[in-house]
Structure 1
Amino acid sequence: MRQINRHPTPGARLMLILLPFVLVIAAWLIGSAIRLEANPQDKLLPGLGQMIDAVHRMAFVADKRSGDYLFWTDTLVSLARLLVGLGIAALLGLCFGIASGVFPMLRAPLSTFMTVISMVPPLAILPVLFIVFGLDELSKVMLIVIGVTPMLARDLEQRAREIPVEILIKAQTLGASSWTLVLRVVLPQLLSRLLVSLRLMLGAAWLFLISAEAISATAGLGYRIFLVRRYMAMDVILPYVVWITLLAWLMDLGLRYLNRKWFPWSTGAQS
């Protein structure tokens, strides 16, 4: 049998899914044990017990100065920034995608402009955002918006242009106005693609957030990671990185679930 036609059984599939994670954890445990045996004060690869103690200290022991549970405070602050930024980016990306994908008169100025804007490295203009919007929350949210919106708009524009012309003609024949056409024909097609695009942009959105928090913040997951790095506190950094990864994965699962629930007919919901 050709390898391309072989499919794992449910049990084998679960084992194959877990295998890379098991190998990574095993390599870390072995490396940590070797380094700690040679130097018990080594901070590069902390042991499991050290990281559990660090998580307990950050998550379940109130900070003496502020009285906050730093782990949960950082999580809530970062998630608030991320969700606001993604929400604004999704709304703007959807509007620009529909405008440039459906209306030829708007496509001429918007399509090329959004293409050029999407090529600007968002991190390169981070100092500009701090100057224009200040060092508070707005600049961090705007970095996510500027980094994500152009890519969403371009993807949704392409999806709108892929809608068969016959469908648009039939709708107009039945008396649909431009507004009705957008709401009843184009929008349902693009909402499913929007959820897929947001899934693909989650990694970039987290990158922009962590970068902004590392430079100017007083709370947040990125702020905490770059704060403790000066002490080489890998027992704090590694759990924070794992937690960020877990949050991003859960958000991806949530978007995938919503796509399947709201748009079961879409090919994007099956991805």
Structure 2
Amino acid sequence: MKRLINLTPSKPLKLLLGILPFALILVIYLVASDARLAENANDKLLPSFTQMGSAIQSLAFEPSKRSGEFLFWQDTLSSLYRLALGIFIAAILGFTIGLLTGAIPTIYSPIAPLLTVISLVPPMALLPVLFIVFGLGELSKVALIVIGVAPFIARDIQRCTQEIPLEQLVKAQTLGASTWQIIVRVLTPQLMPRLINAVRLSLGAGWLFLIAAEAIASTDGLGYRIFLVRRYMSMDVILPYVAWITLLAFLVDWLLAKINLWCFPWHNPNSKH
């Protein structure tokens, strides 16, 4: 008798099983929406797809009467810019700190405990401090992403650095490599694909910090728009925006995975390169 733990679905079945939960959610939403709108045509809790399409069409393809901008695309560009800048800075800081603390014991001893403590501080608790120090502009929003993401990346890179076999370092030193040559030519190439993986894992937190900062103090952005229209219970705008954020997060994660595969095929055991 085959045990369930040993059963592996075929590719077509795997695709079908992957689509099934989304199809069920869609059907449940359509049924619930139709039922609520049948009782009250002005119900805002579960808008129809027609209502959501009309709302997004107005935001995406009709210029704002106040600013003349296409708000949907302006919000998207503003949020992506803040996220990209914050994650980029966090990746550089996290990689540098993680690499140095993982490779050099004299740096690890004073920095690692501090890094651990910093990583335990809730970044959202620092948001008022950032607004006071940096103001309500772009810097405070980017700083929140950096503070929230960089310690996670640093600790992950630190752990990966310490997991690299000691034999590699001994061989490099036997061949006359200095400390910095070992860091640049032995450790860094092996850690780059792990950095991309760490960034992928931190994207969810990055989006969270971004949306929170935009909701509190901003004049544009996806988070700003969601919290602006919530006072009117405009679910026909909120739900498409949430779906759009989810799609953007998925596309960014997919792109990073492809970059990792293209640039470092040796890191992926399933790669055919």
Q: Same fold (TM over 0.5)?
A: yes
Moved over 4 A (4+): 267-270
Distance 1:159 1:220 in 2: 35
Distance 2:15 2:268 in 1: 24
Q: Percent identity?
A: 56
After superposition, give the CA deviation of every residue in 1:128-185 in whole Å (9 maximum; x if it has no partner). 0000011000000000000000010000000000001011000110111111101111
| SS in structure 1 at match of 2:67 | coil
1:196 and 1:268 in contact (8 A); partners too: no
| SS in structure 2 at match of 1:65 | coil
| SS in structure 2 at match of 1:77 | helix
Structure 1 equivalent of residue 72 of structure 2: 71
Structure 1 equivalent of residue 18 of structure 2: 17
Deviation for aligned residue 1:20: 0.9
Structure 1 equivalent of residue 115 of structure 2: 114
Unaligned runs of 5+ in 1: none
After superposition, give the CA deviation of every residue in 1:186-208 in whole Å (9 maximum; x if it has no partner). 10111111111111111100000
* Closer, same or farther: CA 189–268 of 1 in aligned 2, 3 Å: farther
Distance 2:13 2:43 in 1: 38
Deviation for aligned residue 1:268: 8.4
Distance 1:11 1:267 in 2: 23
1:256 and 1:269 in contact (8 A); partners too: no
Structure 2 equivalent of residue 205 of structure 1: 206
Of 146-155 and 180-189, deviating more is 180-189
Structure 1 equivalent of residue 245 of structure 2: 244
Deviation for aligned residue 1:217: 0.2
After superposition, give the CA deviation of every residue in 1:59-105 in whole Å (9 maximum; x if it has no partner). 00111110000000000000000000000000000000011000000
| SS in structure 1 at match of 2:161 | helix
| SS in structure 1 at match of 2:266 | coil
Structure 2 equivalent of residue 39 of structure 1: 40
Distance 1:44 1:139 in 2: 33
Distance 2:225 2:182 in 1: 48
Instruction: Output the aligned Cα RMSD.
Output: 1.1
* Closer, same or farther: CA 268–65 of 1 in aligned 2, 3 Å: farther
| SS in structure 2 at match of 1:265 | helix
- 1:1-271 paired onto structure 2 within 5 Å: 1-267=2-268
Aligned residues: 270
- TM-score w.r.t. structure 1 length? 0.98
Deviation for aligned residue 1:4: 2.0
Unaligned runs of 5+ in 2: none
Of 210-219 and 172-181, deviating more is 172-181
Aligned-partner residue type, residue 39 of structure 1: N
Aligned-partner residue type, residue 102 of structure 2: G
2:51 and 2:236 in contact (8 A); partners too: yes
- TM-score w.r.t. structure 2 length? 0.97
Of 261-270 and 249-258, deviating more is 261-270
After superposition, give the CA deviation of every residue in 1:200-224 in whole Å (9 maximum; x if it has no partner). 1111000000000000000000000
Aligned-partner residue type, residue 121 of structure 2: V
Aligned-partner residue type, residue 49 of structure 2: L
Deviation for aligned residue 1:10: 1.4
Distance 2:121 2:55 in 1: 39
